[in-house]
Amino acid sequence: MQDTIAAISTPNAPGGIGIVRISGKDAIKTADKVFRSVSGKALSSLPGYRALYGSVWDGEEKIDEAVALVYKGPKSYTGEDVAELSCHGGLYVTRRLLRAVLKAGASPAGPGEFTRRAFENGKLSLTQAEAVMDVIGASSRQAANAAQTMLDGALYRQIKGVCGRLITLTGHLSAWADYPEEDIPQVEADSLLTSLLEGKEELSALLSSYDKGKLIREGISTAIVGKPNVGKSTLMNLLAGCEKSIVTDIAGTTRDVVEESVLVGDVVLRLADTAGIRQTEDKVEQAGVALARKRMEQADLVLAVFDGSSPLSPEDRELAELVKDRPAIAVVNKSDLPGCLELEQLKLYSKHIVVISAKNTDGIDALSGTISQLFALGQLEDSGAVLANERQYHCTLRASQALEEAVSALQSGFTLDAVDISIEGAVEALLELTGERVTDAVVDQVFSHFCVGK
Ligand SMILES: Nc1nc2c(ncn2[C@@H]2O[C@H](COP(=O)(O)OP(=O)(O)O)[C@@H](O)[C@H]2O)c(=O)[nH]1
Ligand SMILES: [Mg+2]
């Protein structure tokens, strides 16, 4: 059917091992053209799941030592015959090997083409294929867990369940409408309504998991704000584990937004250290203050920093007031100095107050504990299926809206035909979600985000 494709599947960087993967009906034959085993055996003489040691060649020139692995379709990642040639992970060596493989007849694989073939050969659902990318991109334990759960098929199974029940319903409704003369019992409006509401509830739960899933995958965008010299940049550097931001005792040092992703406990924070918020005549600083305010408005989490060694100032109160109804933590810094700030006053604005010393790292564990608590990310691990991207979210939303239409059609006394049409709309959206009924354009879109070699 399709070409035999090949790509380097390991990162584009020097490493211990570099792998060139070949997939397609001529994969093993192609590998045999560049690989010579020590034992003299040909790869095409092997059953699946076998390896041979030998060397890889570009014509009569030896490229490197190598181990060749053979998988026979359909028992392979792509569902086709696959050969993997592992050599030393040098940039030149792996590229040279790929070139030799292409010369031997393979075509270069496009982004995600191996996984796309796995999807097209029924090895993976579309949601599982998407999970492959999330597993690769995960930067925290929770993100990796969420992606693994998806790769296991938790979302697929849940959607299949809802979809299967809806298909049974519409089958019944259509049969009843199309063959009135047959003795098909009429669908009871009550039990129909119950089924529709149950389906809708399940979809709603999934929809509401989306935001949390997104925080886990992409990290929590976090703005560190406060007036000048309270220790924002010192906190940034402490969390980042390196000198990202310039720290001085001169107010107005930080002007640009300084960014860094850090792992705090189990969550990724996308930190932004900002200019101290104050009235100033300095134009550059004014621009920095405007940026700081914007970041504060857009952030998932605000770390509002106060200097614990001086009393709460009018600017502090203004800031506390601004973030009062936001996910925010009041960070009272400089606990190593004698305290002047009345925590009681701050409590009027903020439920979450953590006292730290960014200088000697006191209170940092409490800060990370409060962050986990605030986002309750811990709970997500056991809940199974989560929607992982906009595509999945919109399919689920469409299905949920279609069910809502079905419910209101039923309740306002429309014919069962009309109800059926809405249920079919929901089924269609869910089949698009799992990839069972999906246009090429959607599939192209999904795989365009993949890396070459996966
Ligand atoms: N004693 C003490 N000084 C601190 C602490 N954190 C920051 N500083 C000092 O406060 C000054 C301003 O710090 P910086 O991080 O630049 O504040 P920013 O303007 O809010 O970014 C510097 O001299 C820091 O060394 C702390 O926890 N304790
Ligand atoms: Mg600063």
CATH of residue 209's domain is 1.20.120.430
How far apart CA 381 and CA 386 sit, in angstroms, is: 10
Q: What's the angle, vertex CA 386, arms to CA 142 and CA 265, rounded to 5?
A: 15
pLDDT tens per residue, range 142-181: 888 888 888 888 889 999 999 999 999 998 888 877 776 7
Q: Tell how strand 61-71 and strand 50-58 pair up.
A: antiparallel
| pLDDT range class, residue 128, cuts 50, 70, 90 | very high
334 C-beta closer than 6 A to ligand 1: yes
Per-residue pLDDT band for 106 (boundaries 50, 70, 90) equals very high
DSSP for 306-373 reads EETTSPPPHHHHHHHHHTTTSSEEEEEE-TTSPP-S-HHHHHTT-S-EEE-BTTTTBTHHHHHHHHHH
- Verify whether ligand 1 is closer than 6 Å to residue 274 (CB atom): no
Is 365 inside any structural domain? no
The CA 311 to ligand 1 mean position distance, Å, reads: 16
Domain boundary among 102, 124, 146: 124
Domain end, chosen from 109, 124, 139, is at 124
Q: To test ligand 1's pocket by mutation, which of 229, 289, 355 has the most ligand atoms within 8 angstroms of CB?
A: 229
Q: Give me the mean pLDDT over the 420-438 stretch.
A: 94
Model pLDDT for residues 23-40, shown as the tens digit of each residue: 999 999 999 999 999 999
Number of domains observed in the structure of the chain: 3
Q: pLDDT by residue (tens digit) across 330-356?
A: 999 999 999 889 999 999 999 999 999
In angstroms, what is the span from residue 256 Cα to ligand 2's centroid?
Answer: 9
- 258 C-alpha to ligand 2 centroid (Å): 9
The H-assigned helical ranges of 260-313 are 283-298
What's the whole-number mean pLDDT along residues 280-307? 93
Residues 275 and 330 in one domain: yes
**309 and 240 in a common domain:** yes
Q: Which two tokens stand for residue 279?
A: 């009235």
The band of 381, judged by pLDDT with boundaries at 50, 70 and 90, is very low
pLDDT band at 1 (very low <50, low <70, confident <90, very high): low
Q: Are residues 39 and 99 in the same domain?
A: yes
Contact 185, 235 (CB under 8 A): no
Q: Is the predicted pLDDT of residue 2 greater than 70, yes or no?
A: yes
Say yes or no: 111 and 65 in one domain: yes
Residue 180 belongs to domain spanning: 131-214+386-435
Residues 26, 62 within the same domain: yes
Q: Which residue has the higher pLDDT, 173 or 400?
A: 400
Q: Residue 203 half-sphere exposure, CB side, CA atoms within 13 Å? A: 29
DSSP string, 188-227: PHHHHHHHHHHHHHHHHHHHHHHHHHHHHHH-EEEEEE-S
Q: Are the C-beta atoms of 13 and 115 separated by less than 8 Å?
A: no
Task: Please report which confidence band the pLDDT of residue 267 belongs to, taking 50, 70 and 90 as the band edges.
Answer: confident
Whether 257 is covered by a domain: the verdict is yes
Length of the chain, in residues? 454
Please report which ligand is nearest the Cα atom of 245: 2
Q: Which amino acid residue places its CA nearest to atom 9 of ligand 1?
A: 231
* pLDDT at site 436: 92
Residue 378 above 80 pLDDT? Answer: no
Rama region for 451: left / alpha / beta (φ>0; ψ in -120 to 50; rest): beta
Output the domain CATH number for residue 63: 3.30.1360.120
Same domain, 318 and 393: no
Q: Are the C-beta atoms of residues 388 and 151 closer than 8 Å to each other?
A: no
204 and 254 share a domain?
no
One domain for residues 204 and 233 = no
Q: Whose CA is nearest to atom 16 of ligand 1?
A: 247
Average predicted confidence (pLDDT) for the chain = 91
381 located within any domain: no
Cβ of 136 less than 6 Å from ligand 1: no
Q: What Rg, from alpha-carbon coordinates, does the chain have?
A: 29
**This prediction's pTM:** 0.74
Residues around ion ligand 2, judged by CB within 5 A, are 232-233, 254
Percent of the chain with pLDDT over 70: 96
Q: Is the CB of 229 under 6 A from ligand 1?
A: yes
Q: Which amino acid is at 172?
A: H
Say whether pLDDT at 383 is over 60. no
Going by C-beta distance under 8 Å and a sequence separation of 6 or more, which residues neighbour residue 427? 163, 166, 167, 170, 399
Residue with the larger pLDDT of the pair 113 and 382: 113
3-state secondary structure 85-115: EEEEECHHHHHHHHHHHHHCCCEECCECHHH
Strands (E), 24-71: 35-37, 50-58, 61-71
CA of residue 298 to ligand 1 center, whole Å: 25
Q: Would residue 139 count as lying in a domain? A: yes
Question: Interhelix angle for 390-411 vs 154-178, to 10°?
Answer: 30
Residue 375 lies in a domain: no
Ligand 1 close to Cβ of residue 78 (< 6 A) = no
Q: 173 and 236: one domain? A: no
Asked if 33 and 104 touch (Cβ cutoff 8 Å), the reply is yes
Q: What is the mean pLDDT of residues 235-256?
A: 90
- pLDDT band (50, 70, 90) for residue 294: very high
Rounded mean pLDDT, 282-305: 93
pLDDT tens-place string over residues 42-89: 999 999 999 999 999 999 999 999 999 999 999 999 999 999 999 999
The answer to whether residue 115 is domain-embedded is yes
pLDDT at 67: 98
Q: Is the pLDDT of residue 299 over 50?
A: yes
308 touches ligand 1 (CB under 6 Å) = no
Same domain, 94 and 197: no
Which of 224, 233, 234, 278 most suits a substitution to test ligand 1, by most atoms within 8 Å of the C-beta? 234
Ligand 1 atom 22 nearest Cα: 249
Domain CATH code at residue 236: 3.40.50.300
Whether residues 167 and 279 fall in one domain:
no
pLDDT of residue 291: 93
Nearest to residue 275, comparing CAs of 318, 242, 230, 327?
230
CA 307 – ligand 1 centroid, Å: 9
Tell whether 420 is covered by a domain: yes
Same domain assignment for residues 256 and 177? no
Whether residue 380 is contained in a domain is answered as: no
Least confident span in 114-118, 149-153, 289-293:
149-153
Within 10 Å of residue 404's Cβ, how many Cβ atoms? 17
**Position 380 pLDDT exceeds 80:** no
Query: With a 6 A CB cut-off, is 237 part of the ligand 1 pocket?
Result: no
Point out the domain boundary residue: 320, 341, 357.
Answer: 357
Instruction: Give 211's contacts (C-beta < 8 A, 6+ positions apart).
Output: none
Residue 50: helix, strand or coil by DSSP?
strand
